[in-house]
């Protein structure tokens, strides 16, 4: 019998090590003779300097080096631009160490290497830099204006990029409208904040001229290329290993952060292993942020609630540099029409430099922003037309019979956004039923008379998953009978090793315990890019399936020779190939692997081994979708919100492991709720960060996150052989809109209109008192 594993809630193979303290995270790596690094960071949002005096620091016993931009040479060349954007005006990327000018509080200025981290931090205090502060551009809207202080002096404006994406006949759409909604919507600045900060450990082995880097990156293969280039070394001489990584959510992929160059540079220079571990304050200022956008949107609708067109002009805060290209803005723009049939969508974004930390993707990569804008606008159009928020959605949804339905939008990875393999009306019906939406609505008049302000909100999401580039997986059967699976993309808690083992073990009919999975080591497998954008199951999973199928075919061929039986009369079961109807005539996979390596009789040009690699790219990605629904009660005296019910209806296609899928949804939704409710990074007018601890940045606890009810709708994706759609980010995407919609509905008697998230208690009190910014 072949055991079905795909679709089963298999327990995770990763867990025993993690639960017993035997896992190895970056700061758990101890090497003989290891030194410790600390980074001197700019205290100014914008300043020039000409001199770094490190003499006192170097005089401190135990300090081995202070490295500045002058020491780095070509290693300090600007980092690569990762995504071209057709609208780029001034692409600017960061450097490992600021060369005479700093552009945000937290930018790296020097690296100290000492016997201990404590000493290295002592030395930071002894370094003198002759900063001359300059006016900073901090506020997004102000920075976009002509005459604003320039973040980059060699530009004429802080607008880095201006890109339009126009679909359909917008003039006709607005000419035919009975009603036009116009407003400004503002999802605020937040950050991923994984529980483990970033870190790098590097060891240079001078005898082998080999550099080994342990790095909390989500993209070790890609990082190897950038680091080798910066250090002037062959990729063959550089190994990047992602060890156990304590959460990523996007912030741990940047290609590369300064420390990923500085720490190996120092290790090679000093011929000693060097470790750098980011502390939490550094993570708030030295790692990337996400979220702030200001959308000026116009929605054209008929009086019966048909959306005819959307115009959106939005500003996107890029922070000080733009090495990713404005990828978050691109994703927000692509996702604007959501699951709705909107004939015309014209949008333009302006990515704007500010003197704040660089912005790069965080779980959802701009899709939570675009989603908040569209879903909130749907609520406001419904309100203006006297329609129910669910009804206006129902009237505009793409229906199964419309599919495939091309939205005309282009998503990240140059992926066309084409609806298929999902049933949005059924999702809506399921969500409304699970939420008891009608019941909540019916009870509202009586409850409001008693001073109870309960409201229901719903928000759809469609998510572009499984996007380019490709990933690869190699599957190799050992003569021991073990199956060795390797891939380049690493895990930050997603359980990839478990799900890859499920796919390979089922395909090769072996016990999952026989499958050994390794990932995220450039010395094991060095093709592909990394872990991001809800693509590992789609892209990596499909590659694993392809490789395992090729191995299975090869095993049947080899067994056919061995048993002198035609392949079609053979069957692979329980780790062995046997003759149909004659199970005693069998040969194990291990024996076939041994036979596949005929050391004395190999034909030149033939490949030894029972193995195959497969590389998979999905040109059309895989669109996942769903609906979030929330019922909340607002305490109008305190502004506190209690989430009474939270429902997620989602469709991620075939679920390789439903338990892991649920974990992704629950965790993503909790992050989305955090961004909707509490989490906001603030700066003063000079660009000083006001939020640099978990006492100020309020990540929700078990007290704030409600019990969430999940409903799976498993429509097989027709675009990949596993039938899967990505699920990593879908939880985070619509949470803000659902939460905001529910709060707005609860506060309907006060005429509250939500135009920004997060909605913390002061923001909610302002809504109640009519003080919210218009």
Nearest to 188 by CA among 631, 659, 678: 678
Residues 315-344 touching another protein, rule: CB under 8 A, are none
| 21 binds another protein per the rule CB under 8 A | yes
| 534 binds another protein per the rule CB under 8 A | no
| 490 binds another protein per the rule CB under 8 A | no
Residue 357 or 493 with smaller CB distance to another protein = 493
Rounded least distance, CB 533 to another protein, Å: 18
Rounded least distance, CB 79 to another protein, Å: 26
E strand residue ranges, 478-594 = 483-487, 515-519, 570-573, 576-579, 582-588
Out of 279, 561, 607, 769, point to the residue binding another protein (CB under 8 A): 279
Residues 617-656 touching another protein, rule: CB under 8 A, are none
Give residues with Cβ within 8 angstroms of 172, minimum separation 6.
344
Out of 19, 208, 234, 599, point to the residue binding another protein (CB under 8 A): 19
The residues facing 290 across adjacent strands are 190
> Which tokens is 464 given?
């572009």
> Which tokens is 630 given?
């929330």
- Which value, to the nearest 10 degrees, does the dihedral of the CA atoms of residues 123, 126, 127, 128 take? 170
Q: 708-712 and 756-757 as β-strands: parallel, antiparallel, unpaired?
A: unpaired
Residues 679-718 touching another protein, rule: CB under 8 A, are 693-695, 699, 701-703, 705, 707-708
Rounded least distance, CB 491 to another protein, Å: 8
| 15 binds another protein per the rule CB under 8 A | yes
659/725 Cα distance (integer angstroms): 16
| 51 binds another protein per the rule CB under 8 A | no
Residue 499 or 618 with smaller CB distance to another protein = 499
| 25 binds another protein per the rule CB under 8 A | yes
Could you tell me how many residues make up the chain?
Answer: 774
> Which tokens is 395 given?
């009237």
394/373 Cα distance (integer angstroms): 18
Residue 22 or 442 with smaller CB distance to another protein = 22
575/266 Cα distance (integer angstroms): 49
| 246 binds another protein per the rule CB under 8 A | yes
Residue 244 or 259 with smaller CB distance to another protein = 244
| 603 binds another protein per the rule CB under 8 A | no
Residue 215 or 474 with smaller CB distance to another protein = 215
| 245 binds another protein per the rule CB under 8 A | yes
Give residues with Cβ within 8 angstroms of 417, minimum separation 6.
334, 335, 406, 407, 408, 409, 410, 411, 462, 464, 623
Q: Report yes or no: 141 and 315 within 8 Å, Cβ to Cβ.
A: yes
| 244 binds another protein per the rule CB under 8 A | yes
Report CA Rg, the chain.
Answer: 27
> Which tokens is 605 given?
């040009």
| 446 binds another protein per the rule CB under 8 A | no
The per-residue DSSP string of 244-276 comes to B-S--TTTT--S--HHHHHHHHHHHHHTS-EEE
Give the burial class of 425: count Cβ atoms within 10 A of its Cβ; 0-12 exposed, 13-18 middle, 19 or more buried.
middle
Rounded least distance, CB 291 to another protein, Å: 16
Residue 590 or 728 with smaller CB distance to another protein = 728
| 456 binds another protein per the rule CB under 8 A | no
532/253 Cα distance (integer angstroms): 8
| 597 binds another protein per the rule CB under 8 A | no
Q: How many CB atoms lie within 10 A of CB 70?
A: 11
Out of 125, 130, 166, 280, point to the residue binding another protein (CB under 8 A): 280
Phi-psi region of 464 (alpha: psi -120 to 50; beta: other; left: phi over 0): beta
**Of 16-24, 135-143, 328-336, 572-580, which segment contacts another protein by CB under 8 A?**
16-24
Rounded least distance, CB 22 to another protein, Å: 7
Number of residues forming the site for another protein (CB under 8 A): 56
| 662 binds another protein per the rule CB under 8 A | yes
DSSP 8-state secondary structure symbol assigned to residue 27: G
Out of 666, 713, 766, 772, point to the residue binding another protein (CB under 8 A): 666
558/562 Cα distance (integer angstroms): 6
Out of 193, 222, 367, 374, point to the residue binding another protein (CB under 8 A): 193
| 200 binds another protein per the rule CB under 8 A | no
| 33 binds another protein per the rule CB under 8 A | no
Q: Determine the angle formed by the axes of helices 389-396 and 367-385, rounding to 10 degrees.
A: 110
Rounded least distance, CB 30 to another protein, Å: 7
Residue 176 or 633 with smaller CB distance to another protein = 633
**Of 23-31, 310-318, 530-538, 567-575, which segment contacts another protein by CB under 8 A?**
23-31
Rounded least distance, CB 58 to another protein, Å: 16
Out of 5, 6, 12, 69, point to the residue binding another protein (CB under 8 A): 12
Rounded least distance, CB 517 to another protein, Å: 16
**Of 14-22, 79-87, 447-455, 507-515, which segment contacts another protein by CB under 8 A?**
14-22
| 488 binds another protein per the rule CB under 8 A | no
Rounded least distance, CB 656 to another protein, Å: 14
Residue 246 or 512 with smaller CB distance to another protein = 246
State residue 677 phi and psi, 5-degree precision.
-115, -45
Give residues with Cβ within 8 angstroms of 489, minimum separation 6.
218, 219, 221, 471, 496, 519, 520, 528, 529, 530, 531, 536, 540
**Of 159-167, 462-470, 605-613, 663-671, which segment contacts another protein by CB under 8 A?**
663-671
Out of 28, 229, 447, 557, point to the residue binding another protein (CB under 8 A): 28
Cα distance from N-terminal residue to C-terminal residue, the chain = 65
**Of 12-20, 307-315, 532-540, 546-554, which segment contacts another protein by CB under 8 A?**
12-20
Give the burial class of 569: count Cβ atoms within 10 A of its Cβ; 0-12 exposed, 13-18 middle, 19 or more buried.
middle
The residues facing 352 across adjacent strands are 159, 317
**Of 253-261, 340-348, 546-554, 668-676, which segment contacts another protein by CB under 8 A?**
668-676
Residues 106-145 touching another protein, rule: CB under 8 A, are 118
Distances (CA, A) of 556 to 269, 513, 561: 53, 22, 9
Residue 258 or 668 with smaller CB distance to another protein = 668
| Cα of 409 vs its chain's centroid, Å | 20
How would you write 703-716 as a 3-class SS string?
CCCCCEEEEECCCC
> Which tokens is 560 given?
């056919």
Residue 402 or 694 with smaller CB distance to another protein = 694
Out of 61, 232, 386, 445, point to the residue binding another protein (CB under 8 A): 61
Out of 669, 677, 687, 768, point to the residue binding another protein (CB under 8 A): 669
> Which tokens is 709 given?
């009810």
Whose tokens are 């609208």? That residue is 87
DSSP 8-state secondary structure symbol assigned to residue 206: T
Phi-psi region of 621 (alpha: psi -120 to 50; beta: other; left: phi over 0): left
Residue 22 or 771 with smaller CB distance to another protein = 22
| 269 binds another protein per the rule CB under 8 A | no
**Of 64-72, 104-112, 240-248, 253-261, which segment contacts another protein by CB under 8 A?**
240-248
Q: Which residues contribute to the site for another protein (CB under 8 A)?
A: 11-12, 14-16, 18-25, 27-28, 30, 61, 118, 192-197, 244-247, 249, 279-280, 492-495, 659-660, 662-663, 666-671, 693-695, 699, 701-703, 705, 707-708, 731
């Amino acid at each position: 019998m072949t055991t079905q594993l795909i679709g089963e809630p298999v327990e995770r193979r990763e867990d025993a090590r993690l639960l017993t303290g035997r896992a190895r995270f970056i700061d758990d790596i101890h090497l003989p003779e290891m030194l410790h690094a600390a980074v001197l960071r700019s205290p100014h949002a914008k300043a020039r300097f000409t001199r770094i005096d490190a003499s006192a620091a170097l005089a401190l016993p135990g300090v081995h080096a202070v490295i500045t931009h002058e020491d780095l040479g070509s290693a300090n060349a600007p980092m690569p631009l990762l995504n071209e954007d057709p609208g780029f005006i001034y692409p600017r990327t960061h450097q490992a160490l600021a060369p005479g000018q700093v552009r945000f509080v937290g930018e790296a200025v020097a690296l100290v290497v000492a016997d201990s981290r404590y000493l290295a931090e002592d030395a930071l205090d002894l370094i003198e830099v002759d900063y001359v502060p300059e006016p900073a551009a901090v506020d997004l809207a102000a920075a976009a204006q002509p005459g604003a202080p320039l973040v980059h002096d060699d530009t004429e404006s802080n607008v880095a990029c201006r890109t339009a994406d126009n679909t359909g006949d917008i003039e006709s759409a607005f000419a035919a409208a009975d009603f036009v909604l116009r407003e400004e919507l503002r999802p605020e600045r937040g950050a991923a904040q994984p529980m483990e900060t970033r870190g790098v450990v590097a060891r240079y082995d001078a005898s082998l001229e080999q550099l080994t880097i342990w790095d909390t990156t989500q993209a070790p293969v890609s990082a190897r290329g950038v680091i080798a280039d910066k250090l002037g070394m062959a990729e063959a001489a550089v190994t990047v290993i992602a060890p156990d990584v304590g959460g990523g959510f996007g912030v741990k992929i940047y290609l590369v952060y300064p420390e990923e160059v500085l720490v190996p540079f120092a290790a090679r220079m000093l011929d000693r292993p060097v470790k750098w571990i980011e502390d939490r304050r550094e993570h708030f200022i030295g790692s990337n942020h996400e979220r702030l956008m200001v959308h000026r949107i116009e929605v054209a609708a008929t009086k019966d609630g048909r959306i005819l067109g959307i115009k959106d002009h939005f500003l996107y805060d890029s922070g000080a540099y733009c090495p990713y290209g404005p990828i978050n803005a691109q994703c927000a723009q692509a996702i604007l029409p959501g699951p709705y049939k909107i004939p015309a969508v014209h949008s333009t974004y302006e990515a704007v430099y500010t003197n704040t930390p660089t912005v790069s993707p965080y779980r959802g990569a701009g899709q939570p922003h675009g989603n908040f804008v569209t879903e909130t606008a749907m609520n406001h159009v419904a309100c203006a037309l006297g329609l129910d928020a669910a009804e206006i959605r129902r009237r505009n949804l793409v229906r199964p019979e419309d599919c495939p339905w091309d939205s005309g939008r282009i998503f990240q990875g140059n992926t066309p956004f084409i609806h298929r393999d999902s049933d949005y009306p059924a999702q809506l019906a399921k969500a409304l039923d699970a939420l008891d939406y009608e019941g909540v609505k019916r009870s509202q008049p009586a409850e409001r008379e008693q001073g109870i302000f309960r409201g229901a909100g719903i928000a759809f999401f469609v998510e572009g998953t499984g996007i380019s580039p490709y990933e690869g997986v190699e599957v190799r059967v050992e003569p021991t009978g073990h199956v060795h699976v390797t891939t380049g993309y690493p895990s930050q808690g997603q359980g990839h090793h478990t799900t890859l083992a499920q796919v390979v073990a089922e395909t090769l009919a072996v016990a999952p315990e026989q499958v050994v999975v390794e990932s995220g080591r450039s010395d094991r497998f060095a093709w592909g890019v990394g872990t991001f954008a809800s693509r590992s199951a789609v892209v990596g999973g499909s590659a694993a399936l392809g490789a395992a199928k090729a191995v299975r075919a090869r095993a049947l061929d080899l067994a056919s020779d061995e048993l002198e039986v035609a392949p079609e009369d053979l069957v692979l079961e329980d780790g062995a190939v046997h003759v149909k109807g004659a199970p005693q005539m069998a040969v194990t996979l291990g024996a076939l692997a041994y036979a596949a390596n005929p050391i004395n009789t190999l034909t030149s040009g033939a490949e030894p081994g029972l193995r195959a690699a497969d590389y998979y790219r999905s040109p059309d990605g895989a669109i996942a979708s769903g609906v979030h629904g929330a019922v909340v009660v607002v305490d109008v005296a305190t502004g506190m919100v209690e989430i009474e019910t939270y429902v997620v209806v989602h469709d991620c296609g075939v679920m390789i492991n439903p338990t892991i899928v649920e974990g992704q949804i629950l965790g993503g939704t909790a992050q989305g709720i955090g961004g909707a409710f509490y989490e906001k990074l603030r700066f003063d007018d000079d660009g000083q960060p006001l939020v640099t601890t978990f006492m100020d940045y309020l990540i929700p606890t078990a007290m704030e996150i409600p019990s969430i009810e999940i409903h799976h709708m498993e429509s097989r994706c027709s675009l990949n052989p596993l039938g899967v759609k990505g699920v990593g980010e879908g939880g985070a995407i619509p949470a803000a809109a659902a939460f905001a919609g529910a709060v707005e509905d609860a506060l309907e008697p006060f005429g509250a209109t939500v135009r920004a998230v997060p909605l913390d208690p002061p923001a909610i009190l302002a809504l109640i008192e009519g003080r919210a910014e218009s």
